[in-house]
Amino acid sequence: MKRLGIFLGLTFFLTWALEFALMANGGLVNSYSIFVLSAVMLMPAISVVATRLITKEGFKDFGLKPNLKGNVRYYLIAWFGPALLIALGALIYFLLFPGQFDPTMSQKASLYAAQGVSLPEGTLFTIFITQLALGIFLSPLLNIITTSGEEIGWRGYLLPKLMEMYSPRVSIVISGIIWGLWHAPIIAMGHNYGTGYPTAPWGGILAMVVFCVVVGAFFSYLAIKTKSFLPAAIAHGSLNGMAGIAVFFTLGTPSPFIGPLPVGIIGGFGLIVAGVFCFVWVDRKNTAVKP
């Protein structure tokens, strides 16, 4: 419990210090915000290393071993699953709200034009296909450093420490809540949900906590089954790479709490189903993942 307290204290202090400094200097419109947000994703991993050094825990079973034997299917799910689930959620959203579906991508083209970018005919579709291909096939690898920065902490250290005290299901819920609250400052700045909704920022923070519990169940299932944080980092990279793909076909300004992006309840339908499935099935073999 002492190690867990040190880890969480360091993670929240380092992360929130950077994010509150960003908040005091313009927030997400600051030109350096992308670098700050990338840096904070590394704070959980840095905190794990610091905790292991402070408590003399050592680095045995750190979780870098992929344990591929018998687990290739989990890595395939991690690589391609989030993309398919995000696409499913967007499809359901546009079927329910066809008036917000923009097959010509005219609104996206207008955004480019507003930035002074004139695109020849057919170029926008090429951009979409390129981003789609990158999201599906390369984003898990391209994002692996920053997502490992998070997953070494959440699924590689926090989750197994909790599983020494609680069942896998309880551990998933607790770790998901912590993961969601960790995002609180950037949600308050408008990340994912904006700032103009009636319950801001608390409604967005609550929605992020729910999202992290659901998605965390999916990531945790992969980590528990493989006894490694690596497939969770891969799935996290896929999620980040594909999260905004539906914007190409979105008309108007839909509520981010609904969709079509995966942080909405309909846009995230596929992830919700996967998270619930993983939450139900994870306890069938009550085995703990070692970091």
The backbone torsions φ and ψ at residue 250, rounded to the nearest 5 degrees and listed phi first, read -95, 130
Across the range 185-210, mean pLDDT stands at 96
pLDDT band at 285 (very low <50, low <70, confident <90, very high): low
Q: Which pair of tokens denotes residue 265?
A: 């309840």
Can you give the pLDDT at residue 257? 97
187 pLDDT more than 80? yes
Residues 158-183 pLDDT 10s: 999 999 999 999 999 999 999 999 99
* Averaged pLDDT of the chain: 94
The CA distances from residue 172 to 24, 119, 175, 234, in Å, are: 33, 46, 5, 18
Residues 109-164 pLDDT 10s: 898 888 888 878 789 999 999 999 999 999 999 999 999 999 999 999 999 999 99
The CA distances from residue 223 to 52, 80, 246, in Å, are: 20, 16, 28
287 pLDDT more than 60? no
Q: Which pair of tokens denotes residue 153?
A: 């902490």
- 275 touches 214 (CB < 8 A): yes
Can you give the pLDDT at residue 288? 45
Residues 69-110 pLDDT 10s: 999 999 999 999 999 999 999 999 999 999 999 999 999 989
Across the range 46-62, mean pLDDT stands at 93
